[in-house]
């Protein structure tokens, strides 16, 4: 049964005059005119200036947000080349200083919940006191500036407290969600050699309890340089420390949280001092340990939350995430100025698919973000959150992780709220922010990202390295940004960093997405460029196939790859996940083929439609197209993908079997 498709670019929402006047971007524009004599008639003019005059723009951002530094900068941008740009040389500051500068006692700092939906509030005074106590305790354990503190922890207030405490003393934070397997954690933390590990004894998800004591024991045994473990009791009132490898070097979290904070002093550090280490998905090879700095993250997140998320005093910001995804860091960064961070720890589908909407209702969320996959799933399950829950305080919604198809845009406006500002956003772990994102001054068009973010010179390049408009090209960034990685940990000569972003276009950051910039300045992303589908010389992104397949209500999820064969022809199978007991038949194949013919081209009708129990995903929620492609080309599964970096490692088995049968039949 086909749904009536919506056309990409269909107008769905426009801001009212009042919303435009009250937008933070409008206030910034007026400030620029009054204080700097700069007059911009449109966002596009403002963006062009910010993208061309990057030194002036970022210096103005520093001034606009009144950044307090222990030492002033001597130059804004010493070296403009990529990689190697040096921002705000001489400045000393601390990300955490900015967090507590703007604490507002009229509303909570954090509101959190788990699957019980019982709310827990952390006030600003409590957050400050516990951050100070944990910082002091870490110093007593010997943690100094530059040391690494790693955390194996779920999305709870203690994770935020631990991160702020670590950064406040100049140590470097890194974390993994406790659903990561031990091998995956060791692959990550083993590269940075933490002095202290903070870990939960277990967690609850989907109504089940998961014990992690044995995994912690293994981490203690195998992580190089580890001196102490801090254990946080989540499932046991009195955890059995004898199960650990080093019980004598294990401290209970309560001893940290209630220790004497002493004279709490936030340590000034250089602008480019490491703040945290994030990781690439690690589906093939060791994950890249991506290092971000205090100053770069401070300026970028102030810019993003103010202008592209349009957060205002008292707003309550929620983005459904685990601690293993960069969006957790974005939620923490919402504390930088005047808003409350909302944390949810649990399954988005338990006890029912509406639990996150119920959480929004209970917390009075004003901004709710999620992955595109989550919104698509809500659409497929025919949820009607606007009718079921009281979402009158919800002003905006964000989506990221993969392209949001036009049909999901339409679903939000039909079944969540007609007056909600919905913005799709794309960037990544690489910058812990977005290159293209929301704009409260612009209309919302189905399937489109509203704008390129301020200070990000984003272009679409053709195969000759020339910028194109209204054509699909490689997404690139042609000028440096303060939020770009300082380096990859352990990448002494910088080769791995250069190969990751600068190999295709020297001196220009290639991000790896297919991008179209429309004549009105909005953007459409068509999937990863390394997962391009090639049919008779014509290439498209995988998201276009998924959009066509999503029209088929019987299909819960799908994955498509394109394989070059020995005779230089191309083989393109489509793998679909159906409801339990359903099977692929001629009717389904014909319906999918008709959708693709109508929406894309007859040449992209798949050669075969194969039913699978699950579609494989990384822990950060991305479809594993490239690893599946490698398996189908004959690579061993353990070389094509790290199962420990997967959300559902068992999902690979069907592709291994399929590859064997296919190779046998050649």
**What is the residue whose two structure tokens read 């949280």?**
257
Q: Give the number of residues written for the chain.
A: 666
* pLDDT of 284 over the 70 cut: no
Least confident range from 191-200, 243-252, 316-325, 617-626: namely 617-626
Q: Return the pLDDT at 225.
A: 96
Residue pLDDT, tens place only, 351-382:
999 999 999 999 999 999 999 989 988 998 99
Q: Return the pLDDT at 580.
A: 86
Beta bridge partners of 400: 371
Beta bridge partners of 563: 571
Please state, rounded to an integer, the average pLDDT across all residues of the chain. 93
* pLDDT of 86 over the 80 cut: yes
The structural domains of the chain, ordered by start, are: 11-101+294-457+480-522 (3.40.50.12780), 120-270 (3.40.50.980), 531-664 (3.30.300.30)
Q: Return the pLDDT at 495.
A: 94
Q: pLDDT band at residue 529, thresholds of 50, 70 and 90?
A: confident
Residue pLDDT, tens place only, 211-260:
999 999 999 999 999 999 999 999 998 999 999 999 999 999 998 888 88
> Six-digit token pair at 279?
């990781």
Q: Return the pLDDT at 600.
A: 77
Mean of pLDDT values over 169-195: 94
Determine the angle formed by the axes of helices 24-36 and 54-64, rounding to 10 degrees.
100
Q: Return the pLDDT at 212.
A: 96
Is residue 486 a contact partner of residue 292, using CB atoms and an 8 Å limit? yes
SS3 category, 228: strand
Q: Return the pLDDT at 539.
A: 66
Q: Return the pLDDT at 666.
A: 54
pTM for this prediction = 0.88
Q: pLDDT band at residue 665, thresholds of 50, 70 and 90?
A: low
Residue pLDDT, tens place only, 581-599:
899 999 999 999 988 888 7
Q: Return the pLDDT at 283.
A: 59
Q: Return the pLDDT at 581.
A: 87
Q: pLDDT band at residue 562, thresholds of 50, 70 and 90?
A: confident
SS3 category, 210: strand
Q: Return the pLDDT at 1.
A: 44
> Six-digit token pair at 32?
């620029």
* pLDDT of 2 over the 70 cut: no
Mean of pLDDT values over 52-69: 97
Q: Given CA atoms 111, 114, 115, 120 in this order, what sign does their dihedral have?
A: negative
Q: pLDDT band at residue 44, thresholds of 50, 70 and 90?
A: very high
Q: Which residues contact 461 (CB under 8 A, 6 or more apart)?
A: 467, 468, 473, 474, 476, 505, 508, 510
Give the Cα separation of 99 and 228 in Å (integer).
28
Residue pLDDT, tens place only, 102-138:
888 899 999 999 999 999 999 999 999 999 999 999 9
Residue pLDDT, tens place only, 427-476:
989 999 999 999 999 999 999 999 999 999 999 999 899 999 999 999 99
**204 or 5: which leads in pLDDT:** 204
* pLDDT of 603 over the 80 cut: no
% pLDDT > 70, the chain: 96
Q: Return the pLDDT at 25.
A: 98
Q: Return the pLDDT at 537.
A: 59
Q: Which residues contact 553 (CB under 8 A, 6 or more apart)?
A: 1, 3, 380
């Amino acid at each position: 049964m086909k749904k009536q498709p919506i056309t990409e670019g269909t107008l769905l929402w426009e801001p009212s005059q009042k919303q435009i006047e009250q937008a933070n971007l409008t206030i910034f524009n007026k400030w620029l005119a009054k204080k700097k004599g700069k007059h911009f008639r449109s966002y596009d003019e403002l963006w062009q200036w910010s993208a061309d005059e990057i030194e002036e723009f970022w210096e103005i951002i520093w001034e606009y947000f009144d950044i307090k530094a222990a030492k002033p900068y001597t130059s804004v941008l010493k070296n403009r080349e990529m990689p190697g740009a040096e921002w705000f040389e001489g400045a000393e500051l601390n990300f955490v200083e900015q967090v507590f500068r703007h604490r507002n006692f009229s509303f909570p700092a954090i509101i959190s919940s788990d699957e019980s939906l019982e709310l827990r509030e952390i006030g600003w005074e409590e957050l400050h006191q516990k951050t100070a106590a944990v910082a002091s305790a870490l110093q007593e354990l010997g943690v100094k500036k530059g040391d690494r503190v790693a955390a194996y922890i779920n999305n709870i207030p203690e994770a935020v407290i631990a991160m702020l405490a670590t950064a406040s003393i100049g140590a470097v934070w890194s974390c993994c969600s406790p659903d990561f397997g031990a091998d995956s954690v060791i692959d990550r933390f083993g590269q940075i050699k933490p002095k202290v590990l903070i870990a939960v004894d277990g967690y609850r998800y989907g109504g089940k309890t998961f014990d992690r004591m044995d995994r912690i024991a293994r981490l203690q045994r195998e992580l190089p340089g580890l001196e102490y473990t801090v254990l946080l009791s989540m499932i046991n009132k009195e955890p059995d420390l004898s199960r650990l490898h080093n019980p004598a070097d294990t401290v209970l979290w309560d001893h940290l949280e209630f220790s004497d904070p002493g004279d709490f002093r936030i340590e000034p550090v250089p602008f480019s001092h490491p703040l945290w280490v994030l990781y690439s998905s690690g589906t093939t090879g060791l994950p890249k340990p991506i290092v971000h700095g205090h100053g770069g993250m401070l300026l970028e997140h102030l810019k993003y939350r103010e202008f592209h998320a349009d957060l205002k005093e008292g707003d309550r910001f929620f983005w459904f995430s685990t601690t293993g995804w960069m969006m957790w860091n974005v939620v923490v960064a919402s504390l930088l100025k005047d808003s409350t961070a909302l944390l949810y720890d649990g399954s988005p589908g338990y006890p029912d698919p509406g639990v996150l909407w119920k959480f929004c209702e209970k917390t009075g969320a004003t901004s709710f973000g999620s992955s595109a996959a989550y919104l698509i799933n809500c659409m497929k399950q025919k949820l009607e959150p606007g009718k079921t829950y009281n979402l009158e305080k919800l002003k905006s919604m964000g989506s990221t992780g993969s392209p949001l198809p036009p049909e999901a845009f339409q679903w939000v406006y039909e079944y969540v709220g007609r007056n909600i500002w919905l913005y799709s956003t794309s960037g990544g772990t690489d910058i812990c922010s977005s290159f293209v994102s929301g704009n409260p001054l612009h209309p919302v068009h189905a399937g489109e990202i509203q704008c390129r973010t301020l200070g990000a010179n984003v272009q679409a390049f053709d195969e000759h390295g020339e910028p194109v408009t209204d054509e699909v090209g490689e997404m690139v960034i042609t000028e440096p940004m303060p939020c770009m990685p300082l380096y990859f940990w352990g990448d002494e000569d910088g080769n791995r960093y250069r190969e990751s972003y600068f190999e295709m276009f020297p001196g220009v950051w290639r991000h790896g997405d297919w991008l179209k910039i429309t004549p009105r300045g909005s953007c459409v992303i068509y999937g990863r460029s390394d997962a391009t589908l090639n049919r008779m010389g014509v290439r498209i992104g995988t998201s276009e196939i998924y959009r066509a397949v999503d029209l088929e209500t019987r299909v819960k999820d799908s994955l498509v790859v394109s394989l070059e064969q020995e005779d230089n022809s191309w083989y393109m199978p489509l793998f679909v996940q159906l409801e339990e007991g359903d099977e692929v038949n001629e009717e389904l194949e014909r319906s999918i083929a008709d959708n693709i013919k109508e929406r894309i081209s007859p040449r992209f009708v798949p050669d075969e439609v194969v039913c699978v129990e699950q579609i494989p995903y990384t822990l950060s929620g991305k479809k594993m197209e490239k690893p599946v492609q490698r398996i189908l080309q004959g690579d061993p599964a353990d070389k094509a993908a790290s199962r420990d970096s997967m959300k559902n490692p068992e999902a690979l088995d069907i592709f291994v079997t399929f590859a064997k049968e296919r190779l046998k039949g050649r």
